[in-house]
Amino acid sequence: MPVASLAQTCLSRGTIYDSDWQGRSFSGRDGHISGMDAQGEAHMRGHNRHWIAYSVMGVGVVAISFAAIFIKMTTAPASVTAAYRMWMTIVLLSPFALRGLMPAWRALSSRDKIILIFSGAALAVHFIFWINSLFYTSVASSTLLLALEPIFALLGAHVLFRERVRYSVWLFAMVAVFGTALIGWHDIRLGGTAAYGDLLAVIGTVAATSYMLAGQRVRQALSAMHYSFLVYVIAGIVLTLYSMARGYSLYGYPAADWRAFLLLTLIPTVMGHTLFNTLLKYIPASTIAMSIVGEPIGATVLAYVIFGDAIPRVWYVGAALVVVGIVLFMRTAHRSHADRQVETMAAEQGVP
C-alpha cells in the first residue's frame, strides 16, 4: 500500500539534521565516529525518526476524525458497517499484502499467532460497541471518551511490557481524562440514552486499547502491511459471523450506505489505522493512544458543520483539558522515549 510504504520509507531514512550536535568532536578509541561522537549520531537518528513518526501520526489523527461522520451517514447495523469496512480494506490491500504473506505467517510463533487473533477480535469488539455508541450519544461525547484509551494503554504497557512511565506522564494523561469525565458527568445528568451511549463508548475504548497493545508485540515480527492485513481479515470474519448470528442482513442497503462504507475504508481505515499500525514499530502504543485523543476535536467540529450538532459549554472546558493533556504528554513521552533509544544505540556502538 503506497501510504504505509511511504511512511515506512520515511521512518527508516529520517534525514533531518539536529544542529545541536553539529561539529562536536570525539577523541575516543579507534573505530568510533570521527568529527562527531557516536552518541551524537544516535541522538540524531532517534530525533529524526521520531519527529517524522509524529508528523505521520498527525495525518492519521485527521483521517480517523472522519470515522464518526461517515458512520452517522449509514443505516446499517454497527457490525455490518464495520464488516464491510474491513472487507473493502482487505480487497484494497490485497495486491500489496499477499506478497510474502504465507512465509511471514509461518514464521510467527504459536504465541504470536494467538496474540494476532486476539488483536483482530479486539478490533472487531471495538467497532461493534463504539459504532453503536454513536447512535445513542453525541459524536462529541462518544469520540471524547476515547481519551480513556491512553490510561488503559499506559497501564497495560507498564504491566505487560515493563515500559517505564514518568510520574509527569501519568499527570498529563490524567488531565486529559479529567476533561472526558466532565463530558461524561454532563451526559449522565441529561439522562435518556446519552449515558448508555457513553458506556458503549468506554467498552469500545477498552477493546481498542487491547487491540493496540497486542499489536505492539506482534508488530515487531511482521511488516505493517502484513500485520494490518491479517488483523483486518480476522476482524472481518468475527464481524461477519456476529452479524449473521444476530440475523442482520448483509445486503439490500441504499447507495448512500455503500458510499459511506467506501469512505470509511479509504480515509479512517487506510489513512488512519493502517498508518498507526506502521508506527507501532517506532512509537510506544501508549503514545499513539494518547495522540488519538485528538480525534474528538476534529470529529466534533465536523459534526457541528455537517449535522448541526449542538455543543454544550462544558464540552469546551473538557476539550481544552484534553488538548492540554495531549500536548504535555506528547512532549514528555517523546523526550523519555528518545532518551531510551539514544542509550540503546550508543551501547550498541560501544559508547560507555
Which of 68-77, 122-131, 169-178 bottoms out in mean pLDDT, i.e. has the lowest? Answer: 169-178
The confidence score (pLDDT) of residue 48 equals 60
User: What angle separates helix 313-348 from helix 38-64, to the nearest 10 degrees?
Assistant: 150
Q: What is the pLDDT of residue 23?
A: 35
Do 343 and 197 contact (CB within 8 A), yes or no?
A: no
Cell numbers of 53, please?
Answer: 513518526
Per-residue confidence (pLDDT) for residue 182, from 0 to 100:
81
pLDDT tier at 334 (50, 70, 90 boundaries)?
Answer: low
Cα–Cα separations (whole angstroms), residue 192 to 140, 167, 199: 16, 38, 13
Residue, of 196 and 27, whose pLDDT is higher: 196
Judge whether residue 13 has pLDDT over 70: no
* Residue 275 and residue 59 in contact, taking contact as beta carbons nearer than 8 Å: yes
CA dist 43 and 138 (Å) reads 44
Q: What pLDDT is recorded for position 281? A: 74
Give pLDDT, residue 156: 77
Q: What is the per-residue pLDDT for 220?
A: 84
Residue 68 burial (CB count, 10 A): 26
Grid cell in block for residue 243: 452479524
Q: How crowded is the C-beta side of 244, counted as CA atoms within 13 Å?
A: 6
Residue 282 three-state SS:
coil
Task: Say which range, 91-105, 217-231, 252-266, has the weakest mean pLDDT.
Answer: 217-231
Quote the cell numbers at residue 116.
494476532
Whether the Cβ atoms of residue 285 and residue 151 lie closer than 8 Å to each other: no
Give CA–CA dist 294/300, Å, rounded: 10
Judge contact between 46 and 10, C-beta under 8 A: no
**How far apart are the C-alpha atoms of 4 and 6, rounded to whole Å?**
5
- Tell me how far apart the terminal alpha carbons of the chain are, to the nearest angstrom: 41
Confidence of residue 16 (pLDDT cuts 50, 70, 90): very low
**Confidence at residue 347, expressed as pLDDT on a 0 to 100 scale:** 47
Contact 291, 134 (CB under 8 A): no
The per-residue pLDDT for range 277-300, each reduced to its tens digit, is: 778 777 776 677 667 667 887 888
Contact 265, 74 (CB under 8 A): no
Judged against a pLDDT cut of 50, whether residue 27 lies above it is answered with no
Where b means 16+ CB within 10 Å and e means fewer, 248-263 reads eeeeebeeebeebbeb
pLDDT at 263 over 70: yes
Confidence at residue 11, expressed as pLDDT on a 0 to 100 scale: 53
**Domain regions of the chain by residue span:** 31-348
What is the longest distance spanned by two Cα atoms in the chain? 73
- Answer whether 0.85 is exceeded by the pTM: no
Q: Mean pLDDT, to the nearest integer, of 261-281?
A: 85
The predicted structure's pLDDT at residue 223? 87
Mean pLDDT (whole number) for 253-274 = 91
Cα–Cα distance measured from residue 148 to residue 84, given in angstroms and rounded to the nearest whole number: 27
Residue range 201-244, pLDDT digits in tens: 989 999 998 998 888 778 888 988 899 899 999 999 999 999 99
Question: In the prediction, which pLDDT does 10 show?
Answer: 52
- Mean pLDDT over 241-250 rounds to 96
Helices (H), the chain: 2-13, 38-64, 67-72, 78-97, 101-107, 110-133, 139-144, 149-160, 167-190, 194-218, 224-245, 255-264, 274-279, 285-291, 295-307, 313-348
Residue type, 47: H
- Candidates 3, 16, 14; CA nearest to 49 is 14
Specify the pLDDT at position 242: 97
Q: Residue 136 phi/psi, 5° resolution?
A: -120, -30
Whether the predicted pLDDT of 264 surpasses 60: yes
Q: What is the pLDDT of residue 289?
A: 66
DSSP for 41-54 reads: HHHHHHHHHHHHHH
